[in-house]
Structure 1
């Protein structure tokens, strides 16, 4: 590391490459935005530092000495590589490009991301979306993610949160043939006598307790049934097959309700709660790729919300 040039030494090397390639102090000075006398002084300083003449100068011409030719061959390509690298990085400030790593709950991916993928790629072909579908709440920054999609109650305090769509609510649903066979519960506490399709957070052994609200107070119901999994989608499909009652986000089951495959239950006890948000760490300069993703995702979320309302209205 001691051999690395200081900022002044780097400036001398940059000046040398400009003169050596142009073989003209005046043209090199114009490219560098300095005066010819100042450039000449810089080259003299470099020659004094390395202890050897690098350029032969006359009033009419400039040529490389043998030592100058060797130095140009060694550092010329590196200088051009450095310039190209800087230009590439500067391009990030104007053109959305690069890999964007996103952590998202599976439900949010189904609602907002899946409809977004194709149009986003067509609009921003130089952005690669690296998406992790995972219902576990992780440390977004520590795990190397640029952003995360999660419900409001589990957002980290030091993150910026952009709301996606409206509030959510979970409802109990069952297939018509199941209700015809087993009857319809009239209160959430009656779910304990029905086979319910359980769900648990990834990495948790205990099933999720179904949450309802009565007279402004939340309460939980511990359900049991023939199936327990870590996939909400699996639970919904099991309910469609008539296995029992499932508990799911209303927007997810709206298409099944609309076509008659599922029936909503106990909705008067299903209260709304904070919906999904796109979260990302505070940053002085937002990457164009993240900015583009936020804009497109918000539009996708608005469209998904309108579709779910239309389905719910029949």
Structure 2
């Protein structure tokens, strides 16, 4: 049987293994870095193996440490889930659910259901991070994520929330009156384009098109580089230049004639948004409630 100190050492090792930093892991566990270091050394002594490589500048897992972390993480999660489930069996689901979502996905699937979810589950706290970066959700401590299908890890359970999406080039009538419209992707080199880049990426995203047989990228140029899809659309609306956006997000502006879609024959569908989470033997009721509510809201939205 594991003692109380054993559990403390397990938590210490998992935190350092996930954060790869004693200072960040100490902050997560609300202990001092020196106390955390002692717990990890005690754990290494107990198992009789070096689990971490330490230098003055970095921390990394040894091969044995990686293997042990992979086995311990789901086991400790199951322990927490079992305790949480037992504590909630007497009442409503409660606790915190950490959510990572692309900004576009949040507008489509989270914003419409926040009020109804809060009314139905007042004891659940949703901790939502809106970020277009593709993060390791398990390592970063998220319970669930909403992202496009092409960037979901293979070992995740993925639930489709909506239809395929496509990106289209759009411009304001004012911009087209001043500069004309490109007839094909090659013509984009003669236009002022609003560029977008993934968070953490130094270079802007190449616009991707479909020629009927394959996808190909076009490196565009222009006066503005942003990391916000909303700002990209607003800049196009103001006549700054052409933008390459998710069609569904600007559909109302297209319907109103405030943005004009261009070269649609070069735009093809790609996998839309999915709700994804790690496979779990036991799922805490709060997470299950959130997943079910998002799926229900998405199903209703697809019918309207």
Determine if the TM-score, normalized by the shorter chain, exceeds 0.5. Answer: yes
Kindly provide the CA deviation profile for residues 167-226 of structure 1, in whole angstroms up to 9, marking residues without a partner as x.
111011111111111111111211111101000000111000000001221111111111
CA shift, 1:288, in A, is 1.6
Listed as ranges, the matches of 1:132-171 within 5 Å are 132-171=129-168
Aligned counterpart in structure 2 of residue 247 of structure 1, from 238, 244, 247: 244
CA shift, 1:99, in A, is 0.5
Contact 2:92 2:121 in 1 (8 A): no
Residue of structure 1 equivalent to 2:286 = 289
Listed as ranges, the matches of 1:44-193 within 5 Å are 90-93=86-89, 95-193=92-190
CA shift, 1:2, in A, is 11
Residue of structure 2 equivalent to 1:76 = none
TM-score for the superposition, normalised by structure 1 = 0.68
Question: Which structure has the larger Rg?
Answer: 1
Kindly provide the CA deviation profile for residues 250-299 of structure 1, in whole angstroms up to 9, marking residues without a partner as x.
11111111122111111111000111111111111222222221122123
CA shift, 1:125, in A, is 1.0
Residue of structure 1 equivalent to 2:263 = 266
C-alpha RMSD over aligned residues: 2.1
Contact 1:165 1:298 in 2 (8 A): no
> Counterpart of 1:137 in 2: which secondary structure?
coil
- In 2, Cα distance between equivalents of 1:298 and 1:172: 30
Q: Does 1:280 align with 2:277?
A: yes
Contact 2:191 2:242 in 1 (8 A): yes
Kindly provide the CA deviation profile for residues 146-167 of structure 1, in whole angstroms up to 9, marking residues without a partner as x.
0011111111121111111111
CA shift, 1:302, in A, is 3.2
Gaps of 5+ in 2: 5-81
Contact 2:166 2:269 in 1 (8 A): yes
Contact 2:99 2:145 in 1 (8 A): yes
Residue of structure 2 equivalent to 1:200 = 197
TM-score for the superposition, normalised by structure 2 = 0.70
How many pairs does the alignment contain? 226
Gaps of 5+ in 1: 5-85, 308-314
